[in-house]
Amino acid sequence: MLIALRGDDRARIEAAQAAKGPAYACPGCGEPLTLAKGRIRRPYFGHRPGAVCSYAALETWEHQQAKEDFATAYRARSLSCDVEVEVLSVDGDRRADVLLHAPGEAYRVALEVQHSTLDYATLERRTGAYLAAGVAVIWVPILIRKRLGETNRIAGTEIFYVSHYSAPPWQLWVHDLQGQLWFYDPVTRGVWRGMLDNCMLYRNPTSWFADGDEHSAGGHWYASERWSSLFLQGPFSLSQLRARRVKWAPRKRRSYYLPGGIGADFVLADEPADYTMPVRIAAAETETARGFHYYRVEHRVDNAWVGASLAEMPLPDTVREIVPNVMSLKALRAET
C-alpha cells in the first residue's frame, strides 16, 4: 500500500514522503506497518509477517505503480489529489485509488485502477456509491500485453488492432458505461485509448442428407460471444490526460444494468470533446450475383470509410506526444 498513518499524530502519509524510523500503522486494521524504501523499487508500506488484513490484499506492483503515476502527473500540473482515500456515501465507504480535485473544489473525480476480476453487481454497487457521494468515477483497466496476442498497426495512424481479444466481462461493463476504455500500460507508464467492437467470424456452409432430404447450415457471419475486436490508440503520456464530467443515463445493456448520474471520462488536452476513434468493423460487399459480403477493419479518411491496411507490429515501449487526427472543430470545454 502507498498510504499509512504516522504513529505520533495519526496523520496520513504517502510512502514516497515517509522516512524510515517513525512508527506507521495500517489505515484499515491499525496494525504496525513496515516502510520499504530502496533504490530500485518504489516505496511502499507492508504488513509484518502473520498479519491478516484485507485493506490492500493482493495488490500488484502494476496497481501501485499506476496510482503513483497518476498522482504524480496530476500534481505536476499544480493540481490537488489524494491517494488511497476514503469517500463517504450513503451506500457505505469507498476507497478511491486516486481522488482528483478540480480547481476550487468544484468537483471530485475518483480513479479506480482495476486489475482483478469484478462481477457486475460489484461494479454497479461501487459505481453507484461514488455517484451517491457526488463523486464522478473513471475505471482504468491495467493493460496486460501478453494477453493481447498479435497486434497490427493500421497504416497511416497510431492505432493498433487486436483481432481476437478475450475481454473480461467487467471490461465490457466499463466500456459500455464510459463509451471507451483507458488502459494504464505498466511498460510505457502511459495510457492507451481502447475501443471494443464485434469480432465477426464466418461459419462455413455444410450440407447433409437425413431421412431422404438434404439439409444445409452455415454460410454466414456471426458475432463471437467469446472474442472482441480491440482497437488501441496511443500510448499517451499521463500529462496529456484531462478528466471531464459527463452525464450518464441509466440503461440496460447485454445482461447488466448501468447506473445513471454525473460520471467522468478522460479526454486528451486540446482534443474535441466529441472525438471518437475513427475505426470500426464493418461489412463490405463483393460484386457477385448473391451479394456476398465479408467483414473488415475500416478507418475514416476525409469523412469516408475505407478498408484499413494492416501491418503486424508490436506495441511501442515508450509514450509519444500524440494528438489524434481531429475529426471535429468543436471547442473543448474547460476540464480538470
Asked if 137 and 110 touch (Cβ cutoff 8 Å), the reply is yes
Asked if 45 and 15 touch (Cβ cutoff 8 Å), the reply is yes
What are the residue boundaries of the structural domains of the chain, listed by start? 1-57, 59-197+228-272
**Max avg pLDDT among 6-15, 43-52, 253-262:** 253-262
Asked if residue 290 has pLDDT above 70, the reply is: no
The torsion angles phi and psi of 76, rounded to 5 degrees, stand at: -65, -20
Q: Would you state the pLDDT for residue 325?
A: 46
pLDDT, tens digit, for every residue of 157-198? 999 999 999 999 999 999 999 999 999 999 999 999 999 999
Out of 179-193, 257-271, 319-333, which region has the weakest mean confidence (pLDDT)?
319-333
DSSP state letter for 123: H
pLDDT, tens digit, for every residue of 137-159? 999 999 999 999 999 999 999 99
C-alpha cell at 70: 497518476
More confident residue, 190 or 42: 190
Q: Would you state the pLDDT for residue 284?
A: 85
Asked if residue 292 has pLDDT above 70, the reply is: no
How confident is the prediction for the chain on average, in pLDDT? 86
Strand ranges (DSSP E) for 279-331?
A: 279-285, 293-301, 304-307, 310-312
Q: How far apart are CA 7 and CA 319, in angstroms?
A: 40
Asked if residue 328 has pLDDT above 50, the reply is: no
Asked if residue 40 has pLDDT above 80, the reply is: no
pLDDT band at 291 (very low <50, low <70, confident <90, very high): low
Percent of the chain with pLDDT over 90: 56
pLDDT band at 332 (very low <50, low <70, confident <90, very high): very low
Q: Would you state the pLDDT for residue 326?
A: 40
pLDDT, tens digit, for every residue of 75-97? 999 999 999 888 876 555 678 99
Asked if residue 307 has pLDDT above 90, the reply is: yes
CB-based burial of residue 198 (10 Å sphere; 0-12 exposed, 13-18 middle, 19+ buried)?
middle
pLDDT, tens digit, for every residue of 193-234? 999 999 999 888 898 888 888 888 888 889 999 999 999 999
